[in-house]
Structure 1
Amino acid sequence: MKFSENWLRSHVPTSANRDGLAATLTAIGLEVEEVTALGDGLAGVVVARIVEAVKHPEADRLLVCQVDIGGDAPLQVVCGAPNARAGLVAPLATVGANVGGIAIKAARLRGVESNGMLCSARELGLDADASGLLELPSDAPVGAPLADYLGLPDASIEIKLTPNRADCFSVRGIAYDVAAALASEVAPLDMAPVPAQGDAAMDVVLEAGGRVPRFAGRVVENVDATAPTPVWMAERLRRAGVRPISFLVDVTQYVMLELGQPMHAFDRDALTGPVVVRPARAGEQLRLLDGREAALDDDFLVVADSHGGRAARAVALGGIMGGEATKVTEATRNVFLEAAHWVPSAIIGRSRRLGLHTDAGHRFERGVDPELPRIAVEYATRLILDIAGGVPGPLTEATLPGHLSAPAAIGLRRARVARVLGIEIADAEIERILRALGMQVAASGDGWQVTPPSRRFDIAIEEDLVEELARIHGYDRLPTTLPGGPARIVVPSETRLAEADIRRQLVARDYLEAISFAFVEADLLRTWGCADGTVALANPLSAELAVMRPRLLPGLVDALARNVSRQAGRVRLFELGRTFAAADPSSRAPGGPDPAPRETRRLAAVACGDARAEQWGEASRRVDFHDLKGDLESLAAASGAVLEFRPSAEPFGHPGRSADVYRSAAEGEPVRLGWIGQLHPRLQLALGLDVDVVAFELDLEPLEARALPHAEALSRFPAVRRDLAFVVGLDVAWSDLAAGVRRAAGPVLRDLLLFDRYQGPGVESGCKSLAMGLILQDNTRTLTDQDADAVVARVVAELGSAHGARIRG
């Protein structure tokens, strides 16, 4: 929200200087982003009229101007502005003035004397426009100080508003907060109804239900549409970031900025009554004021007239923008003013769907006071009559009372205020603050009954009122005391591996933590082959952030690709975050709401480039599957997890260099954790990656689980090792063999090592030889050769029956 400092002060008189006012705004939650001083140091700059402009005898682009500033004789000024001409009224910096740090002196330009400087808006620090002289209205008082005429000095103040403070999208809304903070009062504004002087009116019909519960309008006939916008109004608009267009358009903008109610002015003669507010029809087209053609559906609301049949033609896009066919022009004689209350749910997201951003839509999306439409029409009518004349008809208002609710009184307890804020605020000060904010306050036994104004949608419960008191009384005046009472220390569970430990472990393995968006592009997920079962956003910020991520890897690999494209040859990243999947529709209760998406905590890591940082101790080599597998196993060791790796069918994984990861269970089937491997070459090509990328992604919950640690004495008896070599089919996985060995060997098996894999002469085709070492040990006695042979026999029998394994000869 951008506004003029002087405009604000006209509503709330205060002795605070500019810096103090800006500091107050920020302190009460209306953060000031920028203050642009306007018109400081304009002494000696006056309103002047060019009486004569002739070509300079020695320069083609210069004019010798005779300028009237109200003195006995005109001044001669040499000027090179392209719009300098006889009859133009413009600012003149007289000799002795200082403009933009330049002292104005009498001078000779190409042999011609010049006594002053005709100025552009940029030279005066009023605007960025330097294309020519600042053109003033023809009736501007010649010789008057420019600062007095333009209401300077002033400042353009821009504040950053939070979504809940829609009431501060107006100068008057901000004035209430300033009045409360600076112990002032908001000046009254003449909102008296304008009596009808004619019978011209348009009937209004509401057919959109609770989405538009109020619509006010008035016809004003015989308006002078060519009347210029008054300087005071044009300057206030300009300092609020709105460029004046024409008076009838400017007056609606002015009322919106001052009161907060968006309005629209129709050319009455282009309308065929009655006016109907209705949902748009599927496929309906509307040419908007900016010239674009909007394709609508029944999710939009429109204002329609009866041109060609009842409610046949849409003439405005409800709450967003008017239509071109009924816009006001300089030829307009009769005007229909409109102000309506469009509820936020009927407007939210509609502008973005059409690629629009309008001041009206911005306000209606956040909520506008439902009591304002009638007031805004009355105020705009008074301005039009004062400046452009006309004959006002009766004000027409259509309402749906069942969809308009009055603010309810909220109980505010004195003791609650003291308990929440930690200080006692005097009753008189509490009442002053609340009344200054426009609330109705009635004393009760233990406090007050407070009714917020209709513009304050953000005040609904007692805590909201306490927050208002803290905000206005001053956060800096609240005590900073530590909470008392016994502290309850929560001891981390020993049965879970903490996320901090996981982070430390991966950082120790030379990974950097990344944080990526929880939203991704739908096309990216289709490229990865994981677009099924996703959760799409109804109102995304952009197409690139339209779907909640079902996996961490797409975002993490994108971060890796950005680093690679910036000449990072070795990248190792990890991320802990949540993924989202659509809930099972069958889980919805009959008549109940849709179930919430399923969230899963996950861990992912990616790596590319050299396996180790550049060094002289060993030759460089590329990181591969086994490097990443080692990193993952070191992480699993922290929780005592034993991992199994099985062939994977994930579409984004390399068919021969990826695996599904399982955690072995003491009892029952292993639990699937996730995936590890190299990305598929086709995927890497689609992502524009010219390096091989290895990655893993796991569910965090089962990985974190760990058994309670317990101390155990070291065996005093020696271990026995037996080495066995089995011939098995190529399709037999080592993990399956290892599980069989552990089952058969029992508790005396302390460790199992795979130390050789052979395929070639001596082993038949289609088979491989796996050599393993069994480490056997008992805590109660020394194992004999007979004990070890019995274990070996059970292992040979188990692997033979389960996998067709045989001892290699």
Structure 2
Amino acid sequence: MRAPLSWLREYVDLPAGETGRDVQAKLVAAGLEVERVERLGSDLTGPLVVGKVLTIEELEGFRKPIRFCTVDVGQANGTGEPQEIVCGARNFVVGDKVVVALPGAVLPGDFAIAERKTYGRMSRGMICSGDELGMGDDGTHGIIVLPPEHEVGTDAVALLELVDDVLDIAVTPDRGYCLSMRGIAREAATAYGLPLRDPALLDVPAPNGYGYPVQVADPTGCDRFTARTVTGLDPEARSPIWLQRRLQKAGMRPVSLTVDVTNYVMLELGQPLHAYDRARLDGAIGVRRARAGEKLTTLDGTKRVLDAEDLVITDERGPIGLAGVMGGAETEIAGPADGQGSTEVVIEAAHFDPVAIARAARRHKLSSEASKRFERGVDPQAASAAAQRTVDLLVLLAGGTAEAGVTEIVAPSGPRTISLHANHPDRVAGVEYGRETVVRRLQEVGCDVYGQDELIVTVPSWRPDLTDPNDLAEEVIRLEGYENLPSTLPQPPAGRGLTRRQRLHRRVGRALAGSGYVEALNYPFLGDWALDHLGLEADDPRRATVTLVNPLSDAEPALRTTLLPGLFAALRRNDGRGEHDLALFETGLVFRRSGDEPTPVRLPVDRRPTDEEIAALDAALPQQPRHAAVVLAGAREQAGWWGKGRPSTWADAVEAGRVVAREAGVELIVRQDQQAPFHPGRCAALLAVVDGEEVLVGNAGELHPRVTKAFGLPERTCAMEIILDRLERAGTPVVEAPHVSAFPVATQDVALVVDASVAAVDVEAALRDGAGELLESLRLFDVFTGTQLGEGKKSLAYALRFRADDRTLTAEEASAARDAAVAKAVERTGAVLRGA
């Protein structure tokens, strides 16, 4: 909502020196979102005056039409002589009153006006258009032609109200009353502690039986309908300058007098109105639900097929308007530009159901100024005042006559009351306001308040958002000033903190970041296309997705079952922007549907759900395990003066799994595997021991070439995904500090030749079991294959570290432990000690 400060001053006597920015600060403190203040005319200086075109000479020989004009500007030029001006516009004639910028003027955009020779003539000024003066869209885009009654030489800056401050307010859904000057003026009056001149306080005649006939078949959809008729309108009458300028400043384009007046009253009072050409109406006006399949051509020229839920305005022929959204073309008001303007109009001021209007506007993809107000809530009590204001303006500006008949149909309804304890705002805000302050602030909002400790509050008709005690408490708090609320820290109950699951989640993130990975947070949605590109089989559990009823994107309507597609998108996006050496990670929930979930229950809204209802709702939720995943591409170690770099490989992805597992106190078991979306020969299964059994907790390796191509990833991209919840169950509840021995270590190296099919993890397990308690650590440091080993053989070299807690090991003890380890490896895997 754009609110000109000059218009606002009509309803509130703001201090004389108060600027738009001052008012902005007050309204922001009161809780309104004033996005900016536009200072109109701040870069405009005169002289800018009214002139009368005396002569027009057409200049020949140029590419475009050029006219040499003489214009009477009175004494504004200091001589009284006609001003000579060269102009290319053609929408004015001799005798017209125009706006003239004289030499020395500066127009918006730092456009200085001076005498200059052009097209062979001296031009001493400029005849101005609305665009050149920064007036906004007037629908003509040509020279401003003023009504003939304005005197030559009059200051056009004041006449056209070119200097003003306009507040641009983002009205939130609960503040629909601020989509009007009346509502904004009420907030400004409260903020400044000044009285409000309410423009809706008008003398309105009582309804009678002589008005235009109206039949409301759906009182739920339309609980109030006022109709007034004005006859004898001058079809040539045009909107006065002040009316056009207020519409332009508010962001609306002047159209014709009748339409401009209805728009003006809507902006002033917040009540949308519609004017019908009475000559085009056929019988009584009706309000009903549409019949499915009925058609209506709206004012924008679009032929629409109506839905049975649409609320429509009708006459004997059928629908003539989509109620609260847009009128129909058949009863459109004709203006002077149409050849014959309307002389008799019927004014409609109605109150429609907000939900019905909001749904109709979205159903037909037709958002209008009227629907925007109705769906946020319009003051039903303002309908008759808005109709009266429209009638008064049409009588004043178009010479019309108001018919005595007044039609008003009102569905019975009582005022809304809320019971509020006087200290409720104090408890909500943690500030002691006191009863007097609470009552005073609620009265400033427009409420009637009765009672002492237990207040009975009657809510004003223009505030449909006030429905419970907390709404009233918020009004008291915001008017007293949010900035006056003390900053206090909440007191958490003793003995509570992060759960074990939360601590693991944080430790994993820190560990991966410390290993050189960058966290990438992605939307938790995916589509079937992503699962297809991953190469998942039809029975893969990751295909059991949970589909959203109202997804953000039709391409990704389901909740993710794996973190990898989101990381792939982040990797592709960064790689496409020139970052080729990437290591990204993400931790978060995935959503797995088992198919056994019961149908979700619909919880009540009039009471707190029972524990059984909440438990039933929880049972209907899908499983939500927490995962961690990484993707790598490009160089893992950069080349430099220190030596050669190396690219990321599947081993780095496996090591990322080990980094995560160590944070849970788990020693991973790594075995070869085949699992989509990984390369079948470069995929590792990550296993952990849970309750004495090996359990798959994740996979790591190099992605399948088809997957990298489908997702647009660099070649040989590697990835890892691991289930943190399973690691948590496999880990130790308490992380123990490592024991540090004061005795020296004894290192023994062994190289074992095994069949190529034997997994290194099996050899390692045998060495650990055979070495016994003296083994401190074991590390694979070399893998060798060659013809000297024989076909299908490989050599695995391990470094074994032995240490005792209570003594220095002798060479014999270390050798004995090593020999025991080798013996166990020979027994289990058929290994042969290399060089033996």
2:718 matched residue in structure 1 = 694
Opposite residue 569 of structure 2, the aligned amino acid is D
User: Of 124, 133, 140, which aligns to 1:124?
Assistant: 133
1: CA distance, partners of 2:622 / 2:151: 68
1:63 matched residue in structure 2 = 67
1:557 matched residue in structure 2 = 568
Q: Residues 460-487 of structure 1: CA distance to partner in whole angstroms, max 9, x if unpaired?
A: 444433332332233344455x569899
Q: CA deviation at 1:647?
A: 6.1
User: Of 470, 481, 493, which aligns to 2:477?
Assistant: 470
1:327 paired with 2:332, answer yes
2:56 matched residue in structure 1 = 53
DSSP-derived class of the 1:395 partner: strand
Structure 2 unmatched ranges of 5 or more: 336-340, 537-541, 605-616
Which piece of structure 1 moves more, 151-160 or 699-708? 699-708
Q: Residues 389-412 of structure 1: CA distance to partner in whole angstroms, max 9, x if unpaired?
A: 25555324364x5xx674322414
User: Of 80, 93, 97, which aligns to 1:85?
Assistant: 93
Judge conservation of contact 2:211–2:229 (CA < 8 Å) in 1: no
1:512 matched residue in structure 2 = 518
Q: CA deviation at 1:708?
A: 0.9
1: CA distance, partners of 2:771 / 2:351: 79
Q: Structure 1 residues 555 and 328, CA, compared in 2 at 3 Å: closer, same or farther?
A: farther
Q: CA deviation at 1:572?
A: 2.0
DSSP-derived class of the 2:68 partner: strand
1:136 matched residue in structure 2 = 146
Judge conservation of contact 1:537–1:547 (CA < 8 Å) in 2: no
1:438 matched residue in structure 2 = 446
2: CA distance, partners of 1:737 / 1:613: 33
Q: CA deviation at 1:505?
A: 1.9
CA-based RMSD: 4.6
DSSP-derived class of the 1:606 partner: strand
Q: Any residues of structure 2 matched to 1:51-200 within 5 Å, and which? A: 51-56=54-59, 61-69=65-73, 75-83=82-90, 84-94=92-102, 99-100=107-108, 112=121, 114-127=123-136, 132-189=142-199, 190-194=201-205, 198-200=210-212
Judge conservation of contact 1:49–1:142 (CA < 8 Å) in 2: yes
2: CA distance, partners of 1:103 / 1:787: 97
Opposite residue 289 of structure 2, the aligned amino acid is R
DSSP-derived class of the 2:267 partner: helix
Q: Structure 1 residues 539 and 500, CA, compared in 2 at 3 Å: closer, same or farther?
A: closer
Q: Structure 1 residues 315 and 576, CA, compared in 2 at 3 Å: closer, same or farther?
A: farther
1:587 matched residue in structure 2 = 598
Q: CA deviation at 1:457?
A: 3.9
Q: Structure 1 residues 98 and 466, CA, compared in 2 at 3 Å: closer, same or farther?
A: same
Which piece of structure 1 moves more, 598-607 or 103-112? 103-112
1:451 matched residue in structure 2 = 458
Judge conservation of contact 1:176–1:438 (CA < 8 Å) in 2: no
Judge conservation of contact 1:194–1:381 (CA < 8 Å) in 2: no
2: CA distance, partners of 1:673 / 1:501: 18
Q: Structure 1 residues 332 and 687, CA, compared in 2 at 3 Å: closer, same or farther?
A: farther
2: CA distance, partners of 1:623 / 1:139: 83
1:397 paired with 2:409, answer yes
Q: Any residues of structure 2 matched to 1:742-781 within 5 Å, and which? A: none
Judge conservation of contact 1:202–1:219 (CA < 8 Å) in 2: no
DSSP-derived class of the 2:575 partner: helix
Q: Structure 1 residues 175 and 221, CA, compared in 2 at 3 Å: closer, same or farther?
A: closer
Opposite residue 278 of structure 1, the aligned amino acid is R
Q: CA deviation at 1:559?
A: 2.2
DSSP-derived class of the 2:53 partner: strand
Q: Structure 1 residues 544 and 155, CA, compared in 2 at 3 Å: closer, same or farther?
A: farther
Q: Residues 6-32 of structure 1: CA distance to partner in whole angstroms, max 9, x if unpaired?
A: 222222221133331122122222232
Q: Residues 473-519 of structure 1: CA distance to partner in whole angstroms, max 9, x if unpaired?
A: 33344455x56989958565678645443333222222222233345
Judge conservation of contact 1:535–1:582 (CA < 8 Å) in 2: no
Q: CA deviation at 1:679?
A: 3.6
1:603 matched residue in structure 2 = 628
Q: Structure 1 residues 270 and 418, CA, compared in 2 at 3 Å: closer, same or farther?
A: closer
DSSP-derived class of the 2:52 partner: strand
1:214 paired with 2:223, answer yes
2: CA distance, partners of 1:662 / 1:39: 73
How many residues align? The count is 785
Structure 1 unmatched ranges of 5 or more: 800-804
Q: CA deviation at 1:141?
A: 4.9
Judge conservation of contact 2:512–2:659 (CA < 8 Å) in 1: no
Judge conservation of contact 1:205–1:274 (CA < 8 Å) in 2: no
Opposite residue 70 of structure 2, the aligned amino acid is Q
Judge conservation of contact 1:107–1:115 (CA < 8 Å) in 2: yes
Opposite residue 31 of structure 1, the aligned amino acid is E
Opposite residue 478 of structure 2, the aligned amino acid is R
1: CA distance, partners of 2:82 / 2:685: 89
Q: Structure 1 residues 125 and 510, CA, compared in 2 at 3 Å: closer, same or farther?
A: same
Q: CA deviation at 1:239?
A: 0.5
Opposite residue 100 of structure 2, the aligned amino acid is L
Judge conservation of contact 1:549–1:580 (CA < 8 Å) in 2: yes
Opposite residue 573 of structure 2, the aligned amino acid is R
1: CA distance, partners of 2:410 / 2:528: 44
DSSP-derived class of the 1:10 partner: coil
Judge conservation of contact 1:517–1:555 (CA < 8 Å) in 2: yes
Judge conservation of contact 1:718–1:777 (CA < 8 Å) in 2: yes
1:682 paired with 2:706, answer yes
1:203 paired with 2:215, answer yes
2: CA distance, partners of 1:738 / 1:272: 95
Q: Structure 1 residues 52 and 475, CA, compared in 2 at 3 Å: closer, same or farther?
A: same
Q: CA deviation at 1:536?
A: 2.3
1: CA distance, partners of 2:602 / 2:20: 58
Q: CA deviation at 1:179?
A: 1.1
Q: CA deviation at 1:315?
A: 4.2
2: CA distance, partners of 1:590 / 1:423: 40
2: CA distance, partners of 1:647 / 1:386: 90
Percent of aligned positions that are identical:
31
1:802 matched residue in structure 2 = none
Which piece of structure 1 moves more, 630-639 or 736-745? 736-745
2:614 matched residue in structure 1 = none
Which piece of structure 1 moves more, 742-751 or 66-75? 742-751
Q: Any residues of structure 2 matched to 1:380-779 within 5 Å, and which? A: 380-388=390-398, 389=400, 392=403, 393-397=405-409, 399=411, 406-414=415-423, 416-418=424-426, 421=429, 424-425=432-433, 429-442=437-450, 444-446=451-453, 448-479=455-486, 488=494, 497-519=503-525, 527-528=533-534, 532-536=544-548, 538=550, 540=552, 548-580=559-591, 586-588=597-599, 595=620, 599-645=624-670, 651-670=676-695, 672-703=696-727, 706-710=732-736, 730=757
1: CA distance, partners of 2:602 / 2:639: 63
TM-score in terms of structure 2 length: 0.79
Q: Structure 1 residues 117 and 755, CA, compared in 2 at 3 Å: closer, same or farther?
A: closer
Q: Residues 575-624 of structure 1: CA distance to partner in whole angstroms, max 9, x if unpaired?
A: 33444466857323667687456555433322211122342433344312
Which piece of structure 1 moves more, 565-574 or 697-706? 697-706
Judge conservation of contact 2:636–2:648 (CA < 8 Å) in 1: yes
2: CA distance, partners of 1:546 / 1:111: 68
